[in-house]
Amino acid sequence: MSEKHILQRINWTNTLFITITPVVAIAGTAWWIASGSFNWATVIFAVAMLYATGMSITAGYHRLFSHRSYTASKPVEWFFMLFGSASFEGTIIDWCADHRVHHRFQDKEEDPYAIHKGFWYAHVGWLFLKNWKAEEGKGVKDLWANPLLKWQHENYILIASVMCFGFPMAVAALWGDALGGLFIAGALRLVLNHHFTWFINSLCHYVGAQPYSDKHTSRDNWFTALFTYGEGYHNFHHEFPGDYRNGIRWFDYDPTKWLIYGLSKIGMANGLHVVAPERIIERKIQMQEVRLTRKLAKKSPAVVTFAHETIAAAKARFQAASERLADIREQYHELQSKKDEAIAHQVEEMRVKFHEAQREFYQTVAMWKAMAQGLGKLA
């Protein structure tokens, strides 16, 4: 591609904004400290803004609007729209259009921030060339039907400017530090927001584990989760994008998951989608099988044959238990949903069957682990 053609493709608005805001943030912060204007109230407010805006992207733009992993009340949608706008990452409709394309064409040429185009291209370079807007019917028809999102899309620059810079200045002015609000809670916070989000597109496709699939570049990275509000468990997310969680274990740092769950407990979020445990474990077992097979491939034919037969037997037991558990769970939930006292005894019987199926399922998981450990020693 010629230099002239590249220059014609550059989105100069994005490029200038992304390059100027860090300069303003650094220079403004240096002046704020050097001039003796440092104020702890402004710092605390900036951190609060960082979380409000960052989690409006993760819980709102991403898990609510892009993936529809739950539904939220109108006040929650308004909050995510307003504070997500303060991150200056585009309208919800545009953001979701990009993200849905990313999932649909992950790691392919059509992927807007595919990692194979380079780490920094996936991180931020793609934004220098982004020159299109989402159209109605182009993968985000459901979002265009939402009046709030359509209104944001049509008035984005005004909303984003007020929320990103005007609102922090107004709040910090309450304790006499309007410029601190502009530089710290506004510009500096904005730059951090940008890079925290962009690291999901770059670092989470570059470094980390792949416990669920190696057919795409997404990776689980607990360290990245610390500053991306739980979005670092990216291999899980790409395998199960409809799950409202990214970190599925109780100790996984996923404040976005905790926020959504908390909202559900006060009636402000509903329909939290959770992937069945057996599906998640099945995907992990598939990956363990792939890795075991690769490790044992260079062993003698007798060892390879023994390994394949052992793996096949353990996998068959697991799959049978998994299918039984899924079937009983479906029947159990169907009976529960009827809420009829006349069938209370049936619900109780099915509950007992469900717990028995769970025990059987986890026994086969334990057997698989023991088998995998034993074969791993042969490798």
pLDDT value of position 138: 77
pTM of the model: 0.91
- Residue 64 reports pLDDT greater than 60: yes
The total number of residues shown for the chain amounts to: 379
Q: Which of 51-55, 91-95, 215-219, 308-312 has the lowest mean pLDDT?
A: 308-312
How large is the average pLDDT for residues 10-14?
Answer: 92
Tokens of 245: 């969680």
Pairing of strands 269-270, 71-72: antiparallel
Please state, in angstroms and rounded to a whole number, the distance separating the CA atoms of residues 87 and 161.
Answer: 10
Please state, in angstroms and rounded to a whole number, the distance separating the CA atoms of residues 203 and 355.
Answer: 40
pLDDT value of position 366: 94
What residues does 71 pair with on adjacent strands?
270
* pLDDT tens per residue, range 103-158: 999 999 999 999 999 999 999 999 998 877 777 667 899 999 999 999 999 999 99
SS (H, E, C) 192-221: HHHHHHHHHHCHHHCCCECCCCCCCCCCEC
How large is the average pLDDT for residues 72-98?
Answer: 97
Mean pLDDT estimate for the chain: 93
How large is the average pLDDT for residues 304-313?
Answer: 89
The residue ranges of DSSP E strands in the chain, in sequence order, are: 71-72, 269-270
